């Protein structure tokens, strides 16, 4: 109990002396604080942007649905020989009803084919819009909602009706302040009547998912040619059944496409989780380098603290000698200088955390990069900065505590 009381007194006294010393050397304290603050600000700005990108990516990835599969002759991420996939056989519309009948796990299915085009109405035009041909079940698979009007019907598909359901960005740009329903947009000099609008999804890897026009699949083929390969979008009844559905589909698709035993699959089953894996691979090294730069900056700030603390020890050598001669223990001296180093570092960490996360927010507002400020990041910034101060203050504190009291009293 006596030992604990003594330690508490040492800590309180050390903190009091540390504050007095820092106030007595204001310019030095400010410069040292700025050094560690810049390091923390750099590191946390990078971490804030990284966390924001991760949160944004996974939020947008969730809009695809955990129970969706997309069958195509192309993988979403092509590695290696593109021509190997290009030369695969296309899927045919005749295969779809057979596939649906043989796959009990599938609750919704739609062919999907797309192209990029300009869309106009009156004097307004939107460039690089994805024109996508789908069927009446696609809405369930893609996870969009209808905000006004209606969606594509089976009747629209059967008679190749020139109707369109437009994304939120297309609606905002072409029809500001007015309802688009019943109006005709033009796509490559072809007219399509707007019958509905889609809910907003946002961006996916900096690409808007709302620059979109959905039209009936057969209408797409009638207007833009039948030679384009399509993929098959599917929804599985339960996310827990996706693995079983994928295994089942492999056998069904090999039979439908006439793939001989021993031959490799001539199709790919794509799913959102594959994009998450690729994202992690592509960004892992980049994030490591970015955080490394931030840590190096913080290391420089820590070295600055060590340098200033060594100067402080030299300037206060006589004071240390007096205290030791009056009975101060080595532990007391160590705690005093560690408290001083940690205080400077913690204040710098607090300021750096504020500046760093504020910078990340500003970057997210003026650039496509996202930022996400988490409570743990704020606490971690201040705590980590204090730990840096303690770490780089150990040597100066130990040096001060090990001074010979007699030699220290003679120091001028």
More confidently predicted of 167 and 318? 167
What pLDDT, in 10s, does the model give residues 54-70?
777 777 776 666 688 89
Short-list 281, 277, 322, 307, CA closest to 399? 307
pLDDT of residue 2: 44
Smallest Cα–Cα separation from 172: which of 151, 197, 190, 192? 197
In this predicted structure, which of 101-105, 214-218, 222-226, 325-329 has the lowest mean pLDDT? Answer: 325-329
**Cβ atoms of residues 217 and 110 within 8 Å:** yes
Higher pLDDT, 25 or 183: 183
All structural domains of the chain with their residue ranges: 2-60+277-410, 68-271
Average pLDDT in the 97-105 region?
Answer: 88
pLDDT higher than threshold 90 for residue 33: no
Dump pLDDT digits (tens) for 315-341.
777 777 777 777 777 777 777 777 777
Residue 77 has a pLDDT of 75
pLDDT digits (tens, 9 = 90+) for 343-372: 777 777 778 777 777 777 777 776 666 666
**Residues paired with 185 in a beta bridge:** 192
243-269, pLDDT tens digit by residue? 888 888 888 888 888 888 878 888 888
Both structure tokens of 131: 């024109």
What pLDDT shows up at residue 338?
78
- What phi and psi, each to the nearest 5 degrees, are found at residue 170? -65, -45
CA dihedral 262, 268, 271, 273 (to 10 degrees): 60
Would you say 377 and 47 are in contact if contact means Cβ atoms under 8 Å apart? yes
Say which residue, 348 or 154, is predicted with more confidence. 154
pTM over 0.85: no
Phi and psi at 250, nearest 5°, equal -60, -50
Which tens digit of pLDDT belongs to each residue from 275-316?
Answer: 777 777 777 777 777 777 777 877 777 887 787 777 777 777
Whole-angstrom Cα distance, residue 287 to residue 297? 15
Angle between helical axes of 317-325 and 272-315 (0-180°, round to 10): 80
Comparison of pLDDT for 45 and 141, the residue scoring more: 141
CB distance 231 to 90 below 8 Å: no
- Condensed to tens digits (0 to 9), the pLDDT of residues 108-120 reads 999 999 999 999 9
CA 32 – CA 35 distance, rounded (Å)? 5
pLDDT > 70? residue 26: no
Choice between 215 and 95, residue whose per-residue pLDDT is larger: 215
Structure tokens at 304: 């600055």
pLDDT band at 394 (very low <50, low <70, confident <90, very high): confident
Q: How far apart are CA 301 and CA 320, in angstroms?
A: 26
Distance CA 76, CA 112 (A): 14
Q: Which residues pair with 235 in a beta bridge?
A: 68, 108
C-alpha dihedral, 264 to 246 to 57 to 37, nearest 10°: -80
- What pLDDT band is residue 28 in, cutting at 50, 70 and 90? low
Instruction: Determine the pLDDT at residue 206.
Output: 66
Q: Which of 212, 77, 205, 76 is nearest to 138 (CA)?
A: 212
Yes or no: say if 158 and 102 are a contact pair by the CB < 8 Å rule: no
State percent of the chain over pLDDT 70.
84
For the chain, helix (H) and strand (E) counts, in that order, are: 14, 12
Q: How does the average pLDDT of the chain come out, rounded?
A: 80
- What is the Cβ-side half-sphere exposure of residue 77, based on CA atoms within 13 angstroms? 11
Band of residue 172 on the pLDDT scale cut at 50, 70, 90? very high
What confidence score (pLDDT) does residue 372 get?
Answer: 65
Tens digits of residue pLDDT in 378-393 = 777 777 777 777 788 7
Residue 64 near residue 143 (C-beta atoms within 8 A): yes
């Amino acid at each position: 109990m006596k030992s604990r009381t003594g330690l508490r007194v040492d800590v309180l006294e050390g903190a009091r002396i540390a504050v007095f010393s820092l106030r007595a050397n204001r310019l030095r304290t400010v410069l040292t604080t700025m050094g560690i603050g810049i390091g923390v600000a750099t590191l946390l700005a990078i971490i804030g942007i990284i966390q924001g990108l991760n949160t944004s990516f996974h939020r947008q990835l969730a809009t695809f649905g955990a129970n969706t599969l997309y069958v195509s002759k192309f993988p979403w991420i092509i590695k290696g020989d593109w021509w190997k996939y290009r030369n695969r056989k296309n899927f045919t519309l005749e295969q779809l009803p057979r596939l649906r009948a043989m796959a009990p796990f599938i609750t919704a299915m739609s062919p999907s084919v797309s192209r990029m085009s300009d869309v106009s109405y009156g004097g307004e035009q939107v460039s690089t819009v994805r024109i996508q041909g789908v069927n009446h079940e696609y809405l369930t698979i893609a996870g969009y909602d209808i905000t006004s009007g209606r969606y594509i019907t089976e009747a629209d598909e059967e008679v190749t009706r020139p109707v369109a359901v437009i994304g939120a960005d297309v609606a905002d740009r072409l029809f500001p302040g007015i309802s688009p329903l019943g109006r005709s947009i033009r796509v490559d000099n072809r007219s399509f009547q707007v019958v509905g609008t889609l809910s907003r999804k946002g961006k996916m890897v900096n690409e808007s998912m709302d620059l979109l026009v959905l039209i009936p699949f057969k209408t797409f083929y009638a207007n833009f040619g039948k030679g384009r390969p399509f993929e098959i979008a599917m929804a599985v009844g339960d996310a827990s059944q996706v693995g079983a559905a994928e295994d089942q589909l492999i056998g069904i698709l090999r039979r439908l496409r006439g793939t001989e035993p021993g031959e490799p699959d001539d199709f790919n089953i794509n799913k959102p989780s594959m994009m998450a894996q690729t994202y992690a691979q592509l960004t892992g090294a980049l994030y490591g380098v970015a955080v490394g730069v931030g840590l190096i900056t913080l290391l420089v700030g820590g070295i600055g603290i060590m340098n200033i603390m060594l100067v402080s020890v030299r300037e206060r050598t006589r004071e240390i000698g007096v205290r030791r001669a009056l009975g101060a223990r080595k532990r007391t001296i160590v705690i005093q200088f560690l408290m001083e180093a940690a205080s400077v570092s913690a204040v710098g960490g607090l300021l750096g955390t504020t500046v760093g996360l504020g910078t990340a927010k500003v970057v997210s507002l003026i650039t496509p990069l996202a930022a996400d400020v988490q409570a743990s990041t704020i606490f971690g910034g201040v705590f980590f900065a204090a730990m840096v101060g303690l770490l780089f203050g150990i040597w100066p504190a130990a040096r001060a505590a090990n001074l010979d009291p007699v030699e220290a009293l003679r120091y001028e």
